Amino acid sequence: MVFLNINMILNEFKNKRILILGFGKEGRDAFLFFRKMFPDKIIGIADRNKVKVKAKRIKKHFGNDYLKSLKKYDLVIKSPGIPFKIIPKTELKKIITQTDIFFNYCKGRIIGVTGTKGKSTTSSLIFEILKKAKLKVHLVGNIGKPVLSLLDFGTKKDIYVYELSSHQLYNLKKSPQVAVFLNIYHEHLDYYRSFKDYALAKANITRYQQKGDFLIFNSQDRTVKAFIAKTKAKKIPVKGKYYELNKEAAKAVAKIFKVPSKTIAKAIKDFKPLPHRLELIGKYKGITFYNDALATIPEATIAAMDTLGRKVETTMLGGFDRKIDFKKLAEKVLKNGVRTVILFPTTGKKIWKEIVRQAKKEKPNHFFVNNMEKAVKIAYQYTGQGNICLLSTASSSFSIFKNYEEKGNLFKKYVKKYGA
C-alpha cells in the first residue's frame, strides 16, 4: 500500500519555479524526485562547481555567482553542505531541505539520531538491531540512502533510522517521534555564526516533539541537558564513554520497539565497527595501529586515548584550523605519557605550542610532517613493540587531505606497506 499522498506534493509544488541548490548526493536525489513529480517542468540547478548533468529541461547556474540565481525561483531545495549564513536574507523564506520534505510527508516512524560525535555508529547499531528483530527498517540520511527516493513507497509500518547532522536539522520545524541526542562539542564553527547557533540547530531534534514521543539523551553532557529542558517528549537518559554511549542509546531505542534482550545482545555482538572510527588496523612489526580519522575535535581524540590507555606511545595530531582550543588535548597527551607526537599542518603547530606550554619536565618527541607516508615512517621508527600508534588528529582533515576517508585510507595503506 503506497502511503504517500502524491496529490499533496503535486498541489504544493506544481506552480513553483524550483531550484536545486548544491548538486552533491542529496542534490541529485532531490532533482530525481522532483523530475519524477514534474517530468515537464524546467528545474534549476545551482552549484559553485561545474558539475555534469545529463538531463533535459534544466537551467544551470554554476560558478562563483551561483547564489544570484536564487532570486529567479520560488522554491529552493538546499543541500546540507551549503551554510544558511551565506544565503541572502531576502531569499531565506524560499529555502527548504530534503529533511523538511521527508518529515512533512513520511507516514512511517522516524528515529532521528544526532550528536557531534557517534551518530553514524549509533544509527548503524539501531538499524542492525531492528533489522535482526525482523522490523521493516531503513537507514537514511548522512550515512544511509538519501531520503526522497524512499518517499513514494512503503507503509505505516516502515521505520526510518535517520542520521541527522546539524546542517539537516537547521531550520527544521518538525522533530522525529524517537530522538537520540548524544552530545554537543565545539565543531563546525566555520559553518555557523556561533557555537550557540550550532547547538540550537542540534536541539531541533527534540524541540518540536510531542507527548507520546521519546527522547534518548546523554545525561552526562551538560549542554545537551540544557537544550532539552523544555521538550514534551518522554526523556530516557543514557550514559557511557565513547562506544559504550552508542550502545546504550541503541539499546534504549530497541526497547521502545519492544525488541527482545537476546536479539539486542546478538546484534551488538555481531556489529562490525565502522571504518575510521577507532578502527583496529592490526599489529605490524609488533606495533598495534588504530585508525581514528573521524576524530576531528579534541574531545574525540581524548575519548580514544581514554579507551586505549597508556599503551598509546605515538599519536598523529593536527589538521585544518577551525579555531578550536587544544588545552585539554595537550593535558591528556602529557598525562598519558605519549612519547611521540606527529603533527600535520596547520593546527599541529598550535597543538605543539600548547604541549610545550603545559609540559613541566619531559616533553614528547615531536615531528612536523606534511604527508601521511612520512608520518607512518616516523611512527614505525619511534613506536616500540607492544605499544600503540594512534591516528586521531583532533582536527578536521582539509589542510592536506580531501576528507577524513582519504586521511584514514592513506594511513592504512602506508601502515600495511611499511609493515610488510
Task: Spell out the residues 6+ positions from residue 117 whose beta carbon is closer than 8 angstroms to its own.
Answer: 182, 183, 185, 294, 295, 297, 299, 300, 303
Chain centroid offset of residue 278 CA = 15
Nearest to 319 by CA among 329, 311, 310: 329
In percent, how much of the chain has pLDDT > 90? 83
- Report residue 39: phi and psi, to 5°: -60, -20
Length of the chain: 420
Task: Calculate helix-pair angle for 372-382, 404-419, nearest 10 degrees.
Answer: 50
> Has residue 95 got a pLDDT over 70?
yes
Structure confidence at residue 242 as a pLDDT band (50, 70, 90): confident
How confident is the model over 182-218, as pLDDT tens digits? 999 987 767 788 889 999 999 999 999 999 999 999 9
> Has residue 6 got a pLDDT over 80?
no
3-class SS of residue 164: coil
Note whether 127 and 139 are within 8 A (CB). yes
Task: Give the chain's radius of gyration (CA, Å).
Answer: 23
How confident is the model over 280-315, as pLDDT tens digits? 999 999 999 999 999 999 999 999 999 999 999 999
> Has residue 85 got a pLDDT over 90?
no
Nearest to 317 by CA among 306, 330, 334: 330
Task: Spell out the residues 6+ positions from residue 255 whose beta carbon is closer than 8 angstroms to its own.
Answer: 264
CA distance 26 to 20: 10
3-class SS of residue 100: helix
Extract the C-alpha cell encoding 296. 576531528
- Report residue 97: phi and psi, to 5°: -130, 170
Nearest to 9 by CA among 147, 78, 95, 104: 104
CA distance 104 to 112: 14
The position carrying cell 531576502 is: 90
Between 36 and 380, name the one with better pLDDT.
Answer: 380
Note whether 374 and 382 are within 8 A (CB). no
- With 0.75 as the threshold, say if the pTM is over it: yes
How confident is the model over 405-415, as pLDDT tens digits? 999 999 999 99
- Nearest-10 Cα torsion for 30, 62, 172, 256: 50
- With residues binned 3-state (H G I as helix, E B as strand, rest as coil), the percentages for the chain, rounded to 5, are 40, 20, 40
Task: For residue 154, give the amino acid letter.
Answer: G
- Nearest-10 Cα torsion for 124, 125, 130, 131: 60
Note whether 302 and 295 are within 8 A (CB). no
Helix H or strand E segment including 389: strand 388-391
Structure confidence at residue 149 as a pLDDT band (50, 70, 90): confident
